[in-house]
Structure 1
Amino acid sequence: MSSITDKAANFISRVNPLKDPGFAQDASRALHYNYGPVSILAAFAGSHLLLQHRLPMLFYGLDQNVYPRDDLRVNGEKHVASGKITQAQLRRLKRWEAAHYNAIENLPIFIGSILSLQFAGAPNRLINRVAGVYLSARAAFAALYIFNEDETLAYARTVAWWTGNITCIYGLVKAARFLNHGVAAGSPAL
């Protein structure tokens, strides 16, 4: 048995990227990149693609394109009565739809925050931190919204929602400070 572990250890030591001197330099360089534009794309993809509630409806064979925004409200109980889905699946689909629309509603404030930081010349580290916290909070919010029916965990969803919003407000406040840095008291910022 030790020969297998020896082979595994030898393999790991040969392909270990941490031993490569260029790896540390590349990792350090990656920390200094500006992920603002990519984070906007990630937020858009998350809200419009990953959280698109029509995908699970397609999975259940429920999707129609005549009036899709009203489908769950109008036909949801009919789908349950016909046996296509269960009541629990209908509730999850409705939460998925709500998470999708909530993500779209929150997208403008995030884009505004990132673009404000970009235009204000904020350091990449700050932009990346705002983007990372926001995207993490929104991912937690979506998961807690879609897959949770427990009342106690619903409060965690609210915390995730506020974390995302406060992060955007923080980014806007920091951008305002960068834009107005050095402006004398009482004089216009222009």
Structure 2
Amino acid sequence: MNPRYDLVSPRAEQLVSKGKLTQEQLDQLRRIQAAHSNSMEHYTVFTAAVLCSMVAKLDSGMLNRYATIYTLVRAAYFLVYRQNTTRQAAGIRSVLWWAGNIVCIRLFWFAGKALNAHVL
């Protein structure tokens, strides 16, 4: 078997060689797939942060603000990831990834403080 043979999407290179897709289009489709996978993996962190916040009975207005910020940051992350062809775009993508993490960390922090206040 050819070591360059793509077992994940074996027909993708054929589409490029037959002229049905350009290499740029194929690369963009692969970036979209990677962005989707990353979003699905990160959604579990966000879900856990929201659930902890709900258990801690945080203010719903604050929780809604953080959830909205997270959603907007992740949407921007997806758009930048999709067009990521330069080092500058990669840097912006990293900043957006961290921004999403910081939103989740803050929700965990606030939930922990609220739960700790009830214990003490």
- TM-score calculated relative to the size of structure 2: 0.89
Task: State how far apart, in whole Å, the 1-side matches of 2:118 and 2:63 are.
Answer: 21
The structure whose RCO (Cα within 8 Å, separation 6+) is larger is 2
Answering whether residue 85 of structure 2 is matched by residue 85 of structure 1, we say: no
Deviations 1:40-66 (A, max 9, x none): xxxxxxxxxxxxxxxxxxxxxxxxxxx
Counterpart mapping for 1:1-190 below 5 A? 70-71=8-9, 74-184=10-120
Q: How far did 1:126 drift?
A: 1.6
Task: State how far apart, in whole Å, the 1-side matches of 2:119 and 2:44 are.
Answer: 28
Q: How far did 1:137 drift?
A: 0.8
Deviations 1:84-128 (A, max 9, x none): 100000000000000010000001000011111111100012201
Q: Percent identity?
A: 36
Task: State how far apart, in whole Å, the 2-side matches of 1:100 and 1:147 are.
Answer: 14
Please tell me the residue identity of whatever aligns with 1:160.
L
Aligned-residue Cα RMSD (Å) equals: 1.4
Please tell me the residue identity of whatever aligns with 2:113.
R
Q: Which has the larger radius of gyration?
A: 1
Please tell me the residue identity of whatever aligns with 2:8.
D
Q: How many positions carry a matched residue from both structures?
A: 114
Could you tell me which residue of structure 2 aligns to residue 44 of structure 1? Answer: none
Could you tell me which residue of structure 1 aligns to residue 4 of structure 2? Answer: none
Unmatched segments (≥5 aa) in structure 2: 1-6
